[in-house]
């Protein structure tokens, strides 16, 4: 029997979503008569250790994955469960994305404890988020809002909503739903108002490229429509050399299968903006090749000055 050690961050959300993945893999093994057992290993990452600085100022890519990837290289773990939005575009040589499971709700949600929508928030309301992407889009729609950084796990940020005087905070809906707190999400921000982060709501199962047993198992776990959408979003990310330090977002959806046998049609919406929201560039395209689609929407934004905006933002946060 093969023992598979699964690496994860140690936050409550990371452990919850990893536990859900392991439960699904166990069911898959039972269905296909695959003999293996699973163990979860908690790993602390740089992003978990530095909580008093905004993500844009911590710098570097892979804040939440590098230590976990090292454990893969060292053979301490056999696969890792990441939030896809934490994954840099380029993976270290020897590591691969073994599976992308079905996506959870990709939208952001606004939580106030008072039932506010984004448009209902009082004039000059204080809104907490650690994301330049969210800040840019929120202030573009509501220039009067005051945006303040808020870091920490979901539960600590929910506590800070009350203890630190915020009128509202913005979180990923997927995390709230995975924690069983969907009833607390209050107001879901439609992608037309707030384009999600690349890969938001999706998980990434990473493993060693030479581990045939794990790769074959994960191949059965792949959700192809989610994988197609994420491939388009990540192509966009790679073209703009993006990360959590810059205000950009992309969200792709796959048209329902009509049974015609034609290639699935994808539509991607993407934004690049200034942190203050005064400039927000947005483009939308449709196509059937995910990588070409992601590169094409990035090119359209570059033609409108996206590269210049991102270069200025990177210079400011260094």
Q: Which of 86, 105, 108, 167 is flagged as catalytic? A: 86
**Vertex 258, ends 256 and 261: CA angle to 5°?**
115
Cα R_g (the chain), whole angstroms: 19
**231 C-beta neighbours (distance < 10 Å), count:** 19
**Vertex 214, ends 46 and 216: CA angle to 5°?**
135
Round to whole Å and give the CA distance between 296 and 285: 8
Q: Which residues of 79-104 are buried (b: 16+ CB within 10 A; e: fewer)?
A: bbbbbbbbbbbebeeebbbbbbbebb
> Is 86 noted as a catalytic residue in this protein?
yes
Contacts of 137 (CB under 8 A, 6+ apart): 193, 194, 195, 249, 271, 273, 277, 280
Greatest Cα-to-Cα distance within the chain, rounded to the nearest angstrom: 61
Contacts of 316 (CB under 8 A, 6+ apart): 275
Pairing label, strands 79-83, 2-8: parallel
Q: Are 135 and 147 in contact (CB under 8 A)?
A: yes
Enter the tokens of residue 23.
């439960």
Say what angle helices 290-303 and 306-317 make with each other, to 10 degrees.
80
Enter the tokens of residue 17.
């979503």
| 118 strand-pairing partners | none
Residue that is written with structure tokens 């108002």 in the block: 193
Q: Which residues are catalytic?
A: 86
């Amino acid at each position: 029997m093969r023992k598979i050690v699964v690496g994860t961050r140690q936050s409550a959300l990371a452990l919850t979503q990893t536990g859900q993945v392991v439960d699904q893999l166990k069911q898959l093994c039972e269905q296909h008569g695959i003999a293996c057992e699973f163990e979860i290993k908690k790993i602390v990452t740089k992003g978990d250790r530095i909580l008093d600085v905004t993500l844009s100022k911590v710098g570097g890519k892979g804040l939440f994955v590098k230590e976990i990837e090292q454990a893969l290289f060292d053979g301490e773990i056999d696969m890792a469960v990441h939030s896809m939005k934490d994954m840099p575009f380029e993976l270290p040589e020897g590591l691969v994305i073994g599976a992308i499971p079905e996506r959870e709700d990709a939208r952001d949600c606004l939580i106030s404890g008072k039932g506010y929508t984004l448009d209902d928030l009082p004039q000059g309301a204080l809104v907490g988020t650690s994301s330049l992407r969210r800040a840019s889009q929120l202030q573009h729609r509501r220039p009067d809002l005051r945006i303040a950084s808020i870091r920490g796990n979901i539960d600590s940020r929910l506590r800070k909503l009350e203890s630190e005087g915020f009128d509202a905070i913005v979180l990923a809906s997927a995390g709230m739903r995975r924690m069983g707190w969907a009833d607390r999400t209050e107001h879901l921000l439609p992608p037309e108002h707030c384009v999600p982060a690349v890969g938001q709501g999706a998980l990434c199962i990473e493993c060693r490229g030479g581990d045939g047993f794990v790769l074959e198992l994960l191949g059965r776990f792949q959700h192809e429509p989610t994988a197609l959408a994420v491939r388009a979003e990540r192509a966009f990310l790679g073209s703009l050399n993006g990360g959590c330090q810059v205000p950009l977002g992309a969200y792709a959806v796959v048209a329902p299968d009509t049974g015609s046998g034609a290639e699935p049609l994808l539509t991607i919406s993407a934004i690049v903006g200034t942190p203050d929201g005064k400039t927000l560039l947005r483009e939308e395209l449709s196509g059937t090749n995910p990588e070409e689609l992601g590169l094409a929407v990035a090119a359209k934004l570059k033609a409108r000055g996206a590269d210049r905006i991102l270069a200025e933002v990177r210079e400011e946060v260094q």
